[in-house]
């Protein structure tokens, strides 16, 4: 299994590689750490296609699960009797807001990108 790159490890290696950086850490640690952070962030590679696909699968699956949960809760709310003077844990307005937000997110995934210039 390949060793994962950790930004803290890379920062430490960069700091230990240069005696000047070690001296700078003693005199002005905040500025030196910010400089090291900028160097490490620029050096991290973007995720590969397999990792990106897994991330998208997790995100879309999570939103689909929330959508199904909202449908079930709204369905139960439609067919259940509400008693007066009882405090309910879930408000229908809140679930409806979550439902429409999730539907909007999932619909946005199907919309064409505004950056693409097809037909122009």
Which residue's entry shows tokens 């259940």? Answer: 80
Query: Under a CB-based contact definition with an 8 Å cutoff, are residues 67 and 102 in contact?
Result: yes
> CB-based contacts of 107: which residues, under 8 Å, 6+ apart?
none
37 with 62, same domain? no
- Please tell me whether residues 62 and 37 are part of one structural domain: no
The structural domain count of the chain equals 2
List, for the chain, all residue ranges whose pLDDT scores fall below the cut of 70.
1-5, 7, 43-44, 117-120
Residues 60 and 92 both lie in one domain? yes
User: What pLDDT, on a 0 to 100 scale, did the predictor assign at position 46?
Assistant: 78
What's the confidence (pLDDT) of residue 2? 47
Instruction: Judge if 30 and 81 occupy the same domain.
Output: no
- Global pTM value: 0.54
Question: Do residues 54 and 77 share a domain?
Answer: yes
Whether residue 68 sits in one domain with residue 39: no
Per the structure, the complete domain to which residue 91 belongs is given by 49-110
Residue 117 lies in a domain: no
- What are the tens digits of pLDDT across the range 52-80? 999 999 999 999 999 999 999 888 888 88
Q: What's residue 60's pLDDT? A: 93
The Cα 100–Cα 106 span in angstroms is 10
Co-location of 103 and 63 in the same domain: yes
Both 62 and 38 in one domain: the answer is no
Question: What Rg value do the Cα atoms of the chain yield, rounded?
Answer: 25
User: Is the residue at 115 inside a domain?
Assistant: no
């Amino acid at each position: 299994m390949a060793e994962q790159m950790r930004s803290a490890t890379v920062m430490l290696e960069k700091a230990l590689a240069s005696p000047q950086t070690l001296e700078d850490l003693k005199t002005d640690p905040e500025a030196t750490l910010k400089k090291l952070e900028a160097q490490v962030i620029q050096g991290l590679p973007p995720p590969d296609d397999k990792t990106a696909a897994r991330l998208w699968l997790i995100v879309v699956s999570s939103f689909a699960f929330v959508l199904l949960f909202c449908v079930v809760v709204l369905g139960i709310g439609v067919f259940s009797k509400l008693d007066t003077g009882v405090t309910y844990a879930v408000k229908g307005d809140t679930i409806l807001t979550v439902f429409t937000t999730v539907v909007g997110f999932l619909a946005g995934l199907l919309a064409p990108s505004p950056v693409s210039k097809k037909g122009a």
